[in-house]
Amino acid sequence: MKAKIYVTLKPSVLDPQGKAIHHAVETIGYRGINDVRQGKYFEVTFGEELSLDEARAEVERMAKDVLSNPVIEDFRVELDSDSES
């Protein structure tokens, strides 16, 4: 079972890295871009011992308490019960 956690800066927080990337890709020639925001992506793989709901609870707590800082960041969690993926 794999959890995917996306951590993004809150809209109110300046993102100088995103701005630099925005500038760079425009310089290279990519067109039509309004904004670039940089975030973080985590994959957490669980063993067999937790149920889907238990794993979801663990991931939500982890994302809130450790992987993101609620002062500056938001997070979104996806849980993938497909063992193939």
- Residue 28 binding other proteins, by CB under 8 A: no
Distance of CA 24 to the CA centre of its chain: 22
Using rule CB under 8 A, residue 25 touches other proteins: no
**Other C-beta atoms lying within 10 Å of the C-beta of residue 15:** 19
Beta-carbon contacts of residue 36 (< 8 Å; ≥ 6 apart): 18, 19, 21, 22, 25
Contact residue for other proteins among 47, 71, 83, 84 (CB under 8 A): 71
The one among 11, 16, 29, 32 contacting other proteins by CB under 8 A:
16
Taking the least distance from each CB to other proteins, the nearer of 13 and 52 is 13
